Structure 1
């Protein structure tokens, strides 16, 4: 048999040809022997042909048997397929199904039944693959008490007349159960800090101070133990906490009740006890998760404290923030920052300073204060500003017309002339790079100083090498005024700079009525001593007759919702809407019973300005953040593009109602 197989190799033809030639040669010398060799050649040809024929017949039989076996195997495999499986047409009607499918649907008669109707009227289009797809998947579908991953495969894609699809149901219930168990044990790390711990304790009577400290720790420890967590005290005012992810969800549902519990502690302390919490769900590893928690705590502190900031995977959620930041009595921080900034300026070749886009008097005033500091240190300085606006026109042109300041402003295009490796950029009155006068400048310049008083949001200028961020400060102008006094001993300001800084403080405090502390008056006194004239400053706030009419119409058209909210708008586009909207919002707070006001006005550039003001307990910062803006607990704003005034008003009303429902169940 093995010999026969060898004759079937392709080189046999070569051997036969050689034998044929050999028989001819031998016949030439001896015909008898040549004839004998030729007969052998004929026999070999005949034998090889028969061998090939029999071999091919054997192969055909083997292939036929294999085909029969494969048909049986395919049929048996389909019948015994370990997952529910059916074949449907393009309309979703079942043409065939296995027993697992029958068991899954608890139905013995599935043929010609519509699969979509059997699956709670599921749209069959969601199951059938599109023209450019071969497989369609549905990750989680519930049938009875089990979860399935559904996959549909086009099994007749080459047959345009008869569309058929194989639908597989893979049971993923155990996988989901395992995921749920994993989620239940995933750790959540919390960084906890008592706000202004020393000030709170010092505000209590001597006899009550140990009790106050113990009561604070007892409340925090009891709250963590209720969550089945562990708590480690790192210092007198800082704690490290770990508990499982379901407990974080429970804390969220309770709106972090520990914040309210601590605020209610009264042991002769005159300053309320507030807490800041930074929480993070598990990310990559424990070290990275702890870093996230500490970052969340920094954000909570940067927003004024008395709140919890949770970094939950790809989103950041805020809770609390009902209290205003407590003013710090000492200027230690201002002195340290002032000395550090002096060293940075001296080591820099030049300084560029800018505020937020569409700047107000506080931004320009703070910029002028930085200019004064640079002049004291004999460092070249320029203010980046593309153009003036209605809210700063009077101060802007007064600066431009004053000797020594005529060329102080540069446009965006001119900044390239003043940028090198040793350039220092100082950003004032905003902590978001995207809101600065020239956002790309924060990417180009390596050395950045940040000075701001607004509460921190998700976006923050982390790139800054020096940050002076105090949410208790009334304004950026107040903060810069304090820095001026520590950059150089016996510092003095020219009258124009003093007036610019005082106008910024006056604007953000609403004539020293809001967010005003002892240090605010001290800063104002320093500026007054340097020649700032309140009568000159008042001129910066004067509006024209047209603006007066706009304010009158907005106040007249104001609507009251939920008995405590005033909302107003103007039906025409105006130039410089931010200042006038803020002024109208302030006026609306004068209505009896109104706790918050919102004014919506569209500017000539197409963006809609929303200014928000509040008194008492409503946090307008949280409301404005939901609309893409920010600010303080009682003063906030946002700009919205690509929406009409009516659409924005509706959006504001919906956001306010959601806030009131969440906070006060109104």
Structure 2
């Protein structure tokens, strides 16, 4: 049982995946609040050196570090489908909280619910099941992940349970207006600049059902934008009437690329990205390609998406 392992540990490292979103970091921050009450030593860790500033409103954001402690004896990961995405090589007992269908169960203990709309829902259920009292900081952290992964309650997975959870978290102190303000309304000048450029350069295929965005490193350097700011146009493209899938090919250093796929549900994003070493959900998934011939692989992925289009 996860709680038995947690109770027996003295220094616990809570890990958000590389380039964390509100779901991963929110789940970790909620657990951080809980573990502080147990008088245990706790470290909030992420391997990334730059964190999306939109997440700075989360409780304990200032405690986040990219230095892994040497005296830790337990790790808990949040919202990460594979061990590689944690960005560490440490071998310690690990509890794996997640909701990705592509999760490969890399933990000693795996707390995974693929029906959950977010990892914060999985953590919320864990707290409820184990009679762990939630305070305002925990509620805000969990609510932030719920807002982001439910697309502000617009995702198809939203049901009565999700709205009951939201109601409960707001009663406990989660601030809905604060989450919306920080996650969606605090755009940088760089994010607005790159949004305009990417939408102007967007390529459409298959009678406008597939949108393609190509982001060279030079564009990031020119605008000063970060990866998370680029990916926002993927969801924006899906608001167009005919588009069923939007794909971003983002150049990275040393000849590799990062692929991000968003769909309206007619195309299974996770199914496609898993075949290329990645993973995710039906609506959103991604992978990294390091091969020299990634141009051909991108063509293969585009062809697979095309076959799935209705």
Q: TM-score range by the shorter chain?
A: 0.7 to 0.9
Give me the TM-score of the superposition, normalised by structure 2: 0.85
Instruction: From 399, 404, 426, give the equivalent of 2:76.
Output: 426
Whether the aligned pair in 1 keeps the contact of 2:46 and 2:86 (CA below 8 Å) is no
Instruction: Say if 1:566 and 1:526 are closer, same or farther in 2 by CA, change over 3 A.
Output: same
Deviation at 1:614, TM superposition (A): 0.9
User: Could you say what secondary structure the match of 1:352 adopts?
Assistant: strand
Aligned-partner SS, 1:540:
helix
Q: Decide whether the 8 Å contact of 1:376 with 1:488 is kept in 2.
A: no
2:257 counterpart of 1:608:
yes
Say whether the 8 Å CA contact 2:26–2:142 is kept in structure 1: yes
- Residue 569 of structure 1 aligns to a residue in which SS? strand
1:608–1:397 distance in 2 versus 1, CA, 3 Å: farther
* Within-5 A mapping of 1:512-523: 512-514=153-155, 515-523=157-165
Matched, 1:591 2:252: no
CA root-mean-square deviation: 2.8
**Alignment CA distance shift 1:606-1:509 (3 Å):** farther
Gapped regions of structure 1 (runs ≥ 5):
1-339
Structure 1 residue 498 corresponds to structure 2 residue 139:
yes
Q: Paired residue for 2:55? A: 395
**1:161-180 alpha-carbon deviations (Å, 9 max, x no partner):** xxxxxxxxxxxxxxxxxxxx
- Report what 1:62 is aligned to: none
Name the counterpart of 1:561.
Answer: 205
Alignment partner of 2:220: what SS? coil
Mark the runs of 5 or more structure 2 residues left unpaired by the alignment. Answer: none
CA contact (8 A) 2:257 2:289 kept: yes
Contact 1:585 1:613 survives alignment (8 Å):
yes
1:573 match: 220
The answer on whether the counterparts of 1:350 and 1:380 sit within 8 Å (CA) in structure 2 is yes
Q: CA deviation at 1:595?
A: 0.9
May I ask how many residue pairs the two structures share in their alignment?
Answer: 302
1:533 corresponds to which of 143, 161, 175: 175
Pairing 1:507–2:148 present: yes
State how far apart, in whole Å, the 1-side matches of 2:160 and 2:3 are. Answer: 25
Match of 2:266 in 1: 617
Question: Does the C-alpha gap of structure 1 residues 476 and 606 become closer, same or farther in structure 2, counting only changes over 3 Å?
Answer: farther
Would the alpha carbon gap of residues 519 and 643 (structure 1) be closer, same or farther in structure 2, given more than 3 Å must change? farther
2:22–2:144 contact (8 Å) kept in structure 1? yes
For residue 604 of structure 1, report the CA deviation from its aligned partner.
Answer: 6.9
* Whole-Å separation in 1 of the counterparts to 2:110 and 2:265: 30
Pick from 365, 372, 394 the counterpart of residue 26 of structure 2. 365
Q: Answer whether contact 2:272 2:304 (CA < 8 A) is retained.
A: no
CA separation of 1:641 and 1:540: change in aligned 2, threshold 3 A: farther
In structure 2, distance between residues paired with 1:606 and 1:522 = 46
Q: Deviations over 1:494-536 (max 9, x none)?
A: 33x3322222221212111113233322222222112221221
Whole-Å separation in 2 of the counterparts to 1:578 and 1:352: 26
SS for the counterpart of 2:195 is helix
Q: 1:608, 1:643 within 8 Å by CA — same for their partners in 2?
A: no
Q: CA deviation at 1:539?
A: 3.2
- Note the C-alpha offset of 1:587: 0.7
SS at match of 2:135: coil
Pair 1:518–1:466, CA change in 2 (3 A): farther
Structure with larger Rg: 1
> How has the CA–CA distance of structure 1 residues 576 and 377 changed in structure 2, closer, same or farther, with 3 Å as cutoff?
farther
How far residue 654 of structure 1 moved from its aligned partner, in angstroms, is: 2.9
In structure 2, the residue matched to 1:488 is 131
Tell me how far apart the structure 2 counterparts of residues 603 and 659 of structure 1 sit (CA, whole Å): 23
Q: 1:361 to 1:601 in 2, by over 3 A?
A: same
Distance, in Å, in 1 between the alignment partners of 2:259 and 2:18 is 15
Q: What is the alpha-carbon distance in structure 1 between the residues aligned to residue 127 and residue 254 of structure 2?
A: 36
Q: For residues 523 and 592 of structure 1, what CA distance do their matches in structure 2 show?
A: 31
**C-alpha distance after superposition, 1:277-313 (max 9, x if no partner):** xxxxxxxxxxxxxxxxxxxxxxxxxxxxxxxxxxxxx
CA deviation string 1:175-231 (max 9, x = no partner): xxxxxxxxxxxxxxxxxxxxxxxxxxxxxxxxxxxxxxxxxxxxxxxxxxxxxxxxx
1-structure distance, mates of 2:182, 2:16? 18
For the 8 Å contact 2:262–2:285, the answer to whether it is kept is yes
Hey, what does 1:347 align to over in structure 2? 8
Deviation at 1:576, TM superposition (A): 6.4
Match for residue 108 of structure 2 among 462, 465, 468: 465
Deviation at 1:388, TM superposition (A): 4.7
Contact 1:455 1:471 in 2 (8 A): yes
Q: How does 1:12-23 map to 2 (within 5 A)?
A: none
Answer 1 or 2: higher relative contact order, Cα 8 Å, separation at least 6.
2
